[in-house]
Chains A and B, each alone.
Chain A
């Protein structure tokens, strides 16, 4: 059986169930307790679980992650929250130099199974609060980086991340918390932290994306279908380890690939996917791989300008038509 719930509720269920299942699981982050979480994911948790297990912290991201690492080594299962991914930069030393390396550097003697929940997104928040940094984390061996787009994955991944033995960077998106989707019943529903998924089949063009980009891809595919173009839409779901095989298999069928990402195009996740696909399937490609990404400027505040920066459905449609040679290349950066 399954129920339809929101992405936010899927996360809430995962956290609650795992906190009941294992007393070592606790939450730590800025304003997750009394305030209820910036995005209300942990609303009511302080009352339900108490201040030992739902810990409001100072505004000290490096410390939050560092304490998480120590607590994990000491036998706990911390789920730490970085209020937004923009603030993760302050914790980067702990994440990259310590969290990701402890298991390897100390020769497998011990692990630091910390789940770092964080969220990206935009909404007239200007340059320092509207960034997409998943590539920063996906670059680092030792981290698992998940970016669930649908409620089912949000729940299954979060539960698996808490139960697993590796550090997990768990990236959410502020604009999809209210999206609804089917989630299987049962407290033992967990998903492996790997694997892309083909969510819509088609034979003309493959579109790969994740988080909000996945919904843009889906919207574009539906509109293109009315024009007789069938897109295969792949939800990447996990950025590290990257499931390139699923993408290659699809490209071998469609011979065309468009990647939709909200981050800046240069040095992004899309660049990695494009490189990996050409390594394995160059002969199958009938068109250049195109990336639909953010315009490379610090995010402006003004509504009209912000809209020009981030990808939208129309730009995805343009890119699909371009790889089908149905239009001339666009004059502006994509």
Chain B
């Protein structure tokens, strides 16, 4: 065993507090999603529910690397990002329940989390649709001489869409501070990447636009964190966009309606057993004596309670007031009838 600086992982500059926070957030996301699936089965949650289980290291690594002023737009598998940003799990769960206390008042549901105070401008549910919006946020940052980077989160499926290519071209052409972070979870809904994309490695698509790009192990939260930091520095220094591909895997179906006929149980099991991001960090922390089993267990318990409390809160919260139905269609008044 390599000797370590007390409270740190070898070769990793992050303090113990940050490592434990990453662990806690990944466990929170995992537990939140598991409980959401249960609540879906109970009929408390309806519609589409896209779970993030298995991919936790990507959101946590990326968000922890961002500056508070950076912009964020994501795809519709957005719960993990909201929780990694530190948004209240109670309000996240309440949104899934369609309650007035939800992140967006029950207007959006699972796919449309947002919090303007965190510059999280939303989860978008049309594949690739968020990418030009992210480029526009980068344009605003550059136009206003800000140092904010616009971070765009999307899946491998989005890279086959025209919006992806238009956004990359714009960002590169105008040297916009945009981090394109592709979560390659290897399936676009039920279609494996090799049946949808002529190129298996998503990061290679960035070379058509001269955007520097790399692939990172999306099951390694520290690797994601470090790669994101480097990428953000690149964007923040006026060098234009950057492309990161995080190789990851979702353990659950595309949504709750997914029969999962397109992949084997063994494949899923293989990732769960050998590539799990939480197990990986947990073992690192224990092996290198950064944390004790008791410390981690205490975090687990706190998460368990927080998620239970989130369900209680969501359950007890009121439904949206019907009188608000037509509120927020227009920001400015309308008087004609």
- A243, B337: Cα distance in complex, Å: 6
B79 located at the interface, meaning its Cβ lies under 8 Å from any Cβ of chain A in the complex:
no
Render B23-54 as a binary contact track against A, CB cut-off 8 A, 1 for contact: 00000000000000000000000000000000
Mark interface residues in B209-250 (1 if CB within 8 Å of A CB, else 0).
000000000000000000000000000000000000000000
Check if B336 sits within 8 Å of A194, measured CB to CB. Answer: yes
* Bound form: Cα–Cα A111–B143 in Å: 19
CB of B285 within 8 Å of the partner chain: no
Most buried by A among B71, B133, B335: B133
Determine whether the beta carbon of B330 is less than 8 Å from that of A106: no
Provide the bound-state CA to CA distance between A52 and B170, in Å: 14
B253 at the interface (CB under 8 A from A): no
Q: Which of A73, A75, A102, A238 has the most CB of B within 10 A?
A: A73
CA distance A80 to B43 in the complex (A): 44
| Interface residues as binary, A32-72 with B (CB distance below 8 Å gives 1, 0 otherwise) | 00000000000000000000100101101011011111111
A94 contact set on B, CB distance < 8 A: 129, 132-133
Is the Cβ of B132 less than 8 Å from the Cβ of A165?
Answer: no
Centre residue among B107, B144, B328 by max chain A CB count within 10 A: B328
Shortest distance in angstroms between A159's beta carbon and chain B's nearest beta carbon? 14
Q: Which of the listed residues B73, B144, B167, B330 has the most CB atoms from chain A within 10 Å of its own CB?
A: B330
Tell me how far the C-beta of B227 lies from the nearest C-beta in chain A, rounded to whole angstroms. Answer: 24
- Residue-wise, chain B 167-181 has the 8 Å CB interface mask toward A (1 for contact) of 101100110000000
Question: Do A98 and B133 touch (CB < 8 A)?
Answer: yes
B-contacting residues, A86-135, CB 8 Å: 93-94, 97-98, 102-111, 113
Per-residue 0/1 for B125-167: is the Cβ within 8 Å of any A Cβ (1 yes, 0 no)?
0100101111111111101100000100000000000110011
In contact, B162 and A62 (Cβ under 8 angstroms): yes
Q: CB distance B126 to A93 under 8 Å?
A: yes
Contact between chains at A105 and B166 (CB < 8 Å): no
By beta carbon, the residue of chain B nearest A280 is B337
B170–A67 CB distance below 8 A: yes
Closest Cβ neighbor of A104 among chain B residues? B328
A74 touches B140 (CB 8 A): yes
Asked if residues B137 and A109 are in contact (CB atoms below 8 Å), the reply is no
Contact B328 A97 (CB under 8 A): no
Interface size class of B (residues with CB under 8 A): 35 or more
Closest chain-A Cβ to B163's Cβ sits at a distance in Å of 6
Contacting residue for A111 out of B112, B126, B170, B331, CB 8 A? B331
Q: Is the CB of A242 within 8 A of B104?
A: no
In angstroms, how far is the closest chain A Cβ from the Cβ of B317?
14
- Is A63 in contact with B107, judged by CB distance below 8 angstroms? no
Residue of B nearest to A65 (CB): B132
Does residue B1 face the partner (Cβ distance < 8 Å to A)? no
Any A CB within 8 A of the CB of B327: yes
A288 within 8 A of B: no
Selected from A69, A75, A141, A238, the residue in CB contact (under 8 A) with B133 is A69
Which residues of B have CB within 8 Å of A144? 330
Residues on A with beta carbons closer than 8 Å to the beta carbon of B257: none
Is A222 interfacial (CB 8 A cutoff)? no
Q: Is the CB of A70 within 8 A of B136?
A: yes
Question: Closest CB of chain A to B122's CB: distance in Å?
Answer: 6
Contact A102:B122 (CB < 8 A) given known A66-B131, A71-B137, A195-B336:
yes
Q: Which residue of A lies closest to B109 (CB)?
A: A105
- Confirm or deny: B121 has a beta carbon within 8 angstroms of a beta carbon on chain A: yes
CB of B332 within 8 A of chain A? Answer: yes
Look across to chain A and name the residue whose beta carbon is closest to the beta carbon of B171.
A67
Quick one: closest B residue to A73, CB to CB? Answer: B121
Decide if B208 is an interface residue (CB 8 Å cutoff): no
B107 with A105: CB separation less than 8 A: yes
Of A65, A74, A141, the contact of B139 (CB 8 Å cutoff): A74
Distance of A113 Cα from B73 Cα, bound (Å):
18
Residues of A within 8 A of B337 (CB): 243-245
For B331, the chain A residues whose CB sits under 8 A away are 103, 108, 111, 113, 164-166
> Apart from A73-B121, A74-B144, A141-B329, what are 17 other A-B pairs with CB-CB below 8 Å?
A55-B174, A58-B173, A62-B163, A65-B132, A66-B131, A66-B136, A70-B133, A70-B137, A71-B140, A72-B136, A74-B71, A74-B140, A94-B133, A103-B331, A104-B328, A106-B116, A166-B332
For the complex of A and B, list the 6 residue pairs with the smallest distance between their C-beta atoms, beginning with the closest: A70-B136, A66-B132, A74-B140, A63-B166, A165-B331, A108-B328
